[in-house]
Amino acid sequence: MSYQALYRVWRPQRFDELVGQQLITTTLKNAIITKQISHAYLFAGPRGTGKTSAAKIFAKAVNCHHQKDGEPCNKCETCRAITAGRLNDVIEIDAASNNSVDEIRDIRDKVKYAPTQADYKVYIIDEVHMLSTGAFNALLKTLEEPPANVIFILATTEPHKIPLTIISRVQRFDFRRISAQDAFERMKYILDQKKVTYEEKALWVIANAAEGGMRDALSILDQVMSFSDNHVKLADALLVTGSVEKQQLTAYFSQAAKGDSGAALQSLADLLAAGKDGHRLIEDLITLIRDLLLYRESPELLKVEQTGLTDEQLSSMVKDTTPEMLYAMIDVLNETEQEMRFTTHPNVYLEVMTVKLSQVDQHPVAQQSAPAADSQEVDQLKQQVDQLQQELNRLENSNTTKQAPVNPATNQVHHHKSNKGRQFNVHQIYPILEKASRDNLNRVVDLWPDMLSMLQPIDQGLVEFTKPVAACADGVVLSFDQAFLLERANDSSLADSISKCFSKLVGGDFAVTFVPTDKWPQIRQDFLVAHGYLKGKQKQSPSQHQPKASQQVAVQEEKKSADNGVVGKAEQLFGSDIVKVEDD
Ligand SMILES: [Zn+2]
């Protein structure tokens, strides 16, 4: 007989065998005992926590004529047919592979026929969040008018992707991660039954590596057992588990802690390529940091063997970090977790997180207290306001200046080139600024959501990190906060794609170019100098002339009515910024 995977052989056939979900199994058993069965259930939770097993046990219990205390007998023909997947009335659908509207319409058409072999027809729709909007709408119609003797069990790892209209029509159960303790106990039980000996530490290592999934725990146990048939050794468990993911994770953390963002980004790519879930990665990093803090403060409280790491690894990571760094890192991780909640492109957020984590030690003052960061920001804004005020003052006095032709020599100076490639190109930016206006920028902002909806999925990840900062009728300047994302945008077809979308929206050609956010104020000023609106250094010092923002706005209004072309130009470019400072 060929070898059968542990998780198949030991798949729970009764609610009692379902590990770590007692609250749910008790509730479901009571529903069967008291015959208070809902027509639709949602089983939500991480993978490998027993959702589909529970669904199949429920399908059996509800149809088994010999059920006892809410448990199926597993012996009658109905139970055995369901276990084997050959009962026509229990229909399993994997939404990941059948996500078309037609599939669900098919259900809608057939659902009205009574069950043929069993009492209840049970539809189990796995990974239900993968359904298309159209399919959800078709499913909703069925849930709104549920036929008699039909039960829907929807299972998902990502309940937040399911429309609220569906959620409101189902009874929801949240399956939690299996605790390491529960996974440990279950493996112990199975090995005892199989008369296989084991080192308990090995089972702990596996239980931790499984990350709350019982199926994963048994798969790893299978691999460890393949090293030696009748004995599970710690060394083998470490070889199978520790060597892969935990090592990748600690490598990633160490690289970020040392400020090596390039290496950390590569490790991140490896982790994601290996199928690591982003949210789980953040949780693991927080756990790792918590372990490091504990190890630093009171190592005796940390059960090192349960971390899956060695003393050497822990002490080396502790050496590379300070508690302040670790707390700042937790902040970055929490922020990213929040931001990622509503995006369909989590990977770019994880990359930004990686760069931020790598920069944590470079600004020790800024992280330690939020007010320090705020006042720093305020200082920066004050400086910008001063700078802009000076420009306005000077413009007021030079009302005869006409638009100067672009000075190629000046342009050359500002044509920056980074080591990895150009960051921005004034030859693309200046033609847009020459015709820029606030109305055009507002129009681009208004059209932005339409543009996003037209963009190909491949471009949607990066575009979440850029925003329009200047626009003319047929072009826009977009800024990126993160240099590495700007570089990637420049290397990609993003500008072309955005350009095509705007062309369709406004008609005619549309230019798109990128700038780094931190260099944008300088680029604008250089533009004014290059076009003769400004002549280098100002006579007035910033401290001598610091009117309040409201006064500045008043000055602007005055200028507007004066209809001075040059001033109008500056106002087009800078006016909104000054008003914005006042708002802040
Ligand atoms: Zn039965």
Q: How far is the CA of 191 from the centre of ligand 1 (A)?
A: 27
Q: How far is the CA of 81 from the centre of ligand 1 (A)?
A: 10
Residue identified by tokens 């393949």 is: 226
Neighbouring-strand partners of residue 516 = 480
DSSP per-residue codes, 403-417: PPPP-HHHHHHH---
Q: How far is the CA of 78 from the centre of ligand 1 (A)?
A: 6
Q: How far is the CA of 114 from the centre of ligand 1 (A)?
A: 20
Q: How far is the CA of 326 from the centre of ligand 1 (A)?
A: 55
d(CA 337, CA 335): 5
**Burial annotation 101-125 (CB, 10 A radius, 16+ → b, else e):** bebbbebeeebeeebeebebbbbbb
Quote the pLDDT of residue 442: 92
Burial (CB count within 10 angstroms: exposed 0-12, middle 13-18, buried 19+), residue 344:
exposed
Q: How far is the CA of 411 from the centre of ligand 1 (A)?
A: 82
pTM: 0.51
The CA angle 51-55-59, to the nearest 5 degrees, is 170
Q: Which of 131, 132, 128, 136 is nearest to 156 (CA)?
A: 128
Neighbouring-strand partners of residue 480 = 466, 516
Q: How far is the CA of 76 from the centre of ligand 1 (A)?
A: 4
Q: How far is the CA of 61 from the centre of ligand 1 (A)?
A: 7
Question: Cβ of 222: how many Cβ atoms within 10 Å?
Answer: 16
d(CA 260, CA 276): 21
Element spanning 30, H or E: helix 22-33
Inter-CA distances, 166 with 46, 189, 257, 359, Å: 20, 39, 44, 43
Q: How far is the CA of 43 from the centre of ligand 1 (A)?
A: 23
Question: Cβ of 46: how many Cβ atoms within 10 Å?
Answer: 19
Q: How far is the CA of 30 from the centre of ligand 1 (A)?
A: 17
Q: How far is the CA of 32 from the centre of ligand 1 (A)?
A: 13
Q: Which of 134, 78, 138 is nearest to 106 (CA)?
A: 138
Q: Residue-wise pLDDT tens for the chain (584 aa)?
A: 467 888 888 999 999 999 899 999 999 999 999 999 999 999 999 988 999 999 999 999 999 999 999 999 999 999 999 999 999 999 988 887 755 567 777 787 888 888 888 999 999 999 999 888 888 888 888 888 888 899 999 999 999 889 999 999 999 999 999 988 999 999 999 999 999 999 998 898 899 888 888 998 999 999 899 887 789 998 888 778 755 677 788 899 999 999 999 999 999 998 888 777 888 889 889 989 998 998 888 878 777 766 767 788 888 899 889 999 999 999 999 999 988 887 778 888 999 999 999 998 754 444 344 444 455 555 665 565 555 555 545 444 444 333 333 333 333 333 344 334 568 888 899 999 999 999 999 999 999 999 988 888 778 888 888 999 999 999 999 999 888 889 888 888 899 999 999 999 988 899 999 999 989 988 988 888 888 776 654 434 444 444 444 444 443 444 444 334 455 555 556 544 433 333 33
Contact of 105 with 72, CB cutoff 8 Å:
no
CB-side neighbour CA atoms (13 Å) of 397: 10
Q: How far is the CA of 56 from the centre of ligand 1 (A)?
A: 12
Quote the pLDDT of residue 399: 40
Tokens of 378: 């305020």
Contact of 516 with 486, CB cutoff 8 Å:
yes
Q: How far is the CA of 67 from the centre of ligand 1 (A)?
A: 6
Q: How far is the CA of 19 from the centre of ligand 1 (A)?
A: 21
Phi then psi dihedrals of residue 190, to 5 deg = -65, -45
Q: How far is the CA of 184 from the centre of ligand 1 (A)?
A: 30
